[in-house]
Amino acid sequence: MNGDRSRKLGSIYVFLLASVCLILPVASVKRGDFKTCEQAGFCKRNRERSVRSSSKEYGSGWKSPYLIREQPRWSEDTNTLHATLLNELYPGIAFGLNVTVLAESEGTLRIKLDELAGLRQRYNEADKWTLLSQPKVLDSKHIKLDITQEQTSITWSGNLAREYQFQLQHHPLKISLLRDGQPHIILNERGLFNMEHFRTKSNSDQETLVVQEPSDSQITYNPDELYPGFKETTEDGMWEETFGGRTDQKPKGPESLALDITFPGYSHVFGIPEHASPLSLKTTRGSAESAPKDAYTDPYRLWNLDVFEYEADSEMALYGAIPMMKAHRAGSTRETRREVVEAWKAGASSRKSSTNGEGAEATDKGPTETSTETYWMSESGILDLFVFLGPSSTEIFSSFAALVGTTILPPYFSIAYHQCRWNYVSQDDLLSVVQNFDKFDIPLDVMWLDIEYAEEHKYFIWDKRNFPEPLKMINELEATGRKVSPTVSKRNSSIDDWLTNKPSFGLQLVTIVDPHIKRTQDLYVYKEAVELNVLSKLPDGSEYEGWCWTGSSSWVDYFDPRSWDWWAGLFKFDKYKESTVNVHNWLVFNAPEITMPRDNIHHGGWEHRDLHNLNGMASHNQSARGLRERTDPPMRGFVLSRSFFAGSQRYGAIWQGDNMGTWQHLAVSIPCY
């Protein structure tokens, strides 16, 4: 794209960190506690490649070393296009590219890419946690396939006589996605795609390529000469890196993924929550001469963190990550979404969605003069990208919801007023607040308790010094007589009777139960977790120990199936003693916080770097299940989570974390999501 007509949204990526506050003059966040792109090896390597691609030294001859030599093939059994992707810089390495058209979401494709016969398996389980189920693919009888030596195309029709097309250029690699003959999304247009292959630390990366000349003489040359500037200029951070006094060992070596995605003719892109930034995402190339004055200088980071009193205009990572981006112009919408999980950082996955479920008409007014260029970087994982070609927002979000689920219907009381602050420290303290709400006739439906309700911060156990009679306190809240009833999950005759004669429910109570567990055999929760062997591990297999509110703590591995029934069962009334159906739950430090070392090991042998962004959703799921299953018939409780990923909406509410009491933070609370 012409540089002066192209808006560059450099580096939207899944893991790194970011930020310079350009507007808010005062901030409490400690920036030194969080990495910048320059301090994260995978981000630095890939971002420098982006800079080199447009430099005077390399820009004029820049091209991608990735290509397809053998013609792609179509599998009738799976209705999938398969192609083998090669990198001329590393001729012994191959990648498998698979493309499917989804049947139930119009204009939606799935593009997956993984290393073939690699030394190790890249993280590939993001969809397991995020998708409702594996989506159905469109039968080949509805698809027109055209494969030549230079290009492969897939064409299919949608409602209202729309035509969609996937175009795969073989050499160099480029993918164009069209609607009604017009390109809306282009992958690798700038030639920045790169998937770092697994390697052994002792091996040299200096490989050569042999080519056959017409004269039958063989000439050996250094492929770097064909693709100057593409390879890494440094190996910093490939095998280990140190930050904040701790060294992150990387026994698997470098495994990052980077991809440029262009939205031709679109001036505005939205999405990739959670960031305290404007709705229309800012440029992240603030150091460039042509960048706007208010541009950010670091990439948007998607890596769930605890950021106390964050800045109100920043690209820094916050508490949740949904790697989905949507472009919009008059009459046209399209969208890209990355699940990478990590999300994408926990398995690199990406998606894009667009479908007109209601058949609403949308007229594309044509491209604008400005295009938006984005660059996605992930530390690990496969590429799993969903593309939704629209054109309407209704279609796109309907398709997206079909993949990751809709928002759970909240209990009646939870849409009313909640009173929550840090911290009500005693039973008398809480009840006096309730009495004053009644005294001044202020509506109130839910009271919250933070960590001080628990004995020595041992969750599930009341601190009897300050909350000597929790059941009496809960009953007094219930006696306020608010006419709100819990919602029943399934219907039968006995439930109908219950609904007919349902009792009145008073004030509800939400108590915090976090996933860090105090390391003491006196706590039954810790003792049971050790016996079940469901705690997160260090690389050597020993139990990971961190420091949090509870003091010396361990963390539940929610990716281990053995932890699911156990954790959900902790909310039963014979376990969480002196709790009732009026007691609900919130999860705060489930990012997890403190942030685990990235080389910690989870169930299945996956490193924490692979699935960090999924941890909050996994804990949210089992906690919501625990509240639901503690009664017969099941009753939907209220569970709020601070950490989230795509799919968290299936389990309950999320919240914005520790903002400041300023007008700037109030203003950014909506575009933040």
Q: Which of 224, 558, 41, 484 is nearest to 570 (CA)?
A: 558
- Say how far apart CA 483 and CA 485 lie, in whole Å: 7
Is 377:14 a contact under the CB 8 Å cutoff?
yes
Element (H, E) at 399: helix 393-404
Phi-psi region of 663 (alpha: psi -120 to 50; beta: other; left: phi over 0): alpha
Q: Which residue from 263, 262, 266, 261 is spatially nearest to 365, judged by alpha carbons? A: 266
**Token match 């398969």: residue?**
82
- pLDDT for 559: 98
- If you search the block for the tokens 């990923």, which residue do you land on? 645
Adjacency order of strands within the sheet including 583-587: 418-419, 446-449, 508-512, 583-587, 639-641, 653-654
Please check whether residue 514 is in contact with residue 591, taking contact to mean a CB–CB distance below 8 angstroms. Answer: no
CA gap 428, 438 in Å, rounded: 15
The domains found in the chain, sorted by start residue, are: 3-37+254-355+365-404 (no CATH), 412-514+563-596+612-651 (3.20.20.80)
Sign of CA dihedral 595, 598, 604, 605: negative
Question: Phi-psi category of 160—alpha, beta or left, where left has phi over 0 and alpha has psi -120 to 50?
Answer: left
Alpha-carbon distances, residue 646 vs 138, 279, 289 (angstroms):
24, 18, 36
SS3 60: helix
Residue 201 is which amino acid? K
Mean pLDDT, each 10-residue run in order, the chain (673 residues) = 37 22 40 89 93 91 96 96 96 96 90 96 96 94 96 90 94 96 95 95 50 39 77 83 91 95 91 93 78 86 92 92 90 49 26 24 53 94 93 87 95 92 93 94 94 96 98 93 47 54 74 95 97 97 94 97 98 97 95 90 98 97 98 95 97 91 89 83
Q: Where are the alpha helices (DSSP H) in 56-115?
A: none
Specify the amino acid at residue 350: S
From CA 465, how far away is CA 475, in angstroms rounded?
19
Q: What is the pLDDT of residue 497?
A: 58
Which pair of structure tokens corresponds to residue 493?
A: 């005759």
Strands 583-587 vs 639-641: parallel, antiparallel or unpaired: parallel
Asked if 397 and 364 touch (Cβ cutoff 8 Å), the reply is no
- Two tokens at 105? 């979401």
CB 405 within 8 A of CB 136: no
CA 626 to chain CA centroid, nearest Å: 24
Whether the CB-CB separation of 347 and 381 falls below 8 Å is answered with: yes
DSSP state of 236: T
At residue 506, the pLDDT reads 85
Q: 279-311 pLDDT, tens per residue? A: 999 999 866 666 677 889 999 999 999 998 888
Of 418, 440, 586, nearest in space to 507 by CA: 418
How far, in Å, CA of 584 to CA of 603, rounded?
28
Strands 332-338 and 209-212, by their bridges, are unpaired
Measured CA to CA, the distance from residue 135 to residue 110 in angstroms comes to 9
Structure tokens at 251: 């026994």
Helix and strand counts by DSSP (H, E) for the chain? 11, 36
Long-range contacts, stretch 178-181, CB < 8 angstroms, 24+ apart = 179/107, 179/334, 179/364, 179/389, 179/390, 179/391, 180/364
CA distance 151 to 145: 11
Amino acid at 317: A
Give the CB-side neighbour count of residue 498, counting CA atoms within 13 A. Answer: 15
Q: Distance between CA atoms of 36 and 28, rounded to whole angstroms?
A: 17
Alpha-carbon span 408 to 413, nearest angstrom? 14
Task: Phi first, then psi: give them for residue 240, nearest 5 degrees.
Answer: -170, 155
- Judge contact between 89 and 227, C-beta under 8 A: yes
Residue spans of beta strands (DSSP E) within 47-93: 66-67, 73-75, 80-87
Residue 277 and residue 315 in contact, taking contact as beta carbons nearer than 8 Å:
yes
- pLDDT score recorded for residue 293: 79
Q: Are 136 and 102 in contact (CB under 8 A)?
A: yes
Instruction: Write phi, then psi, for 603 (nearest 5 degrees).
Output: -55, 135
Total residue length of the chain: 673
518-577 confidence digits (pLDDT tens): 999 999 999 999 999 999 999 999 999 999 989 999 999 999 999 999 999 999 999 999
Q: From 49, 43, 45, select the one nearest 16 (Cα to Cα).
A: 43
* β-bridge mates for residue 177, sequence order: 166, 185
SS3 189: coil
Residues 293, 283: contact at Cβ < 8 Å?
no
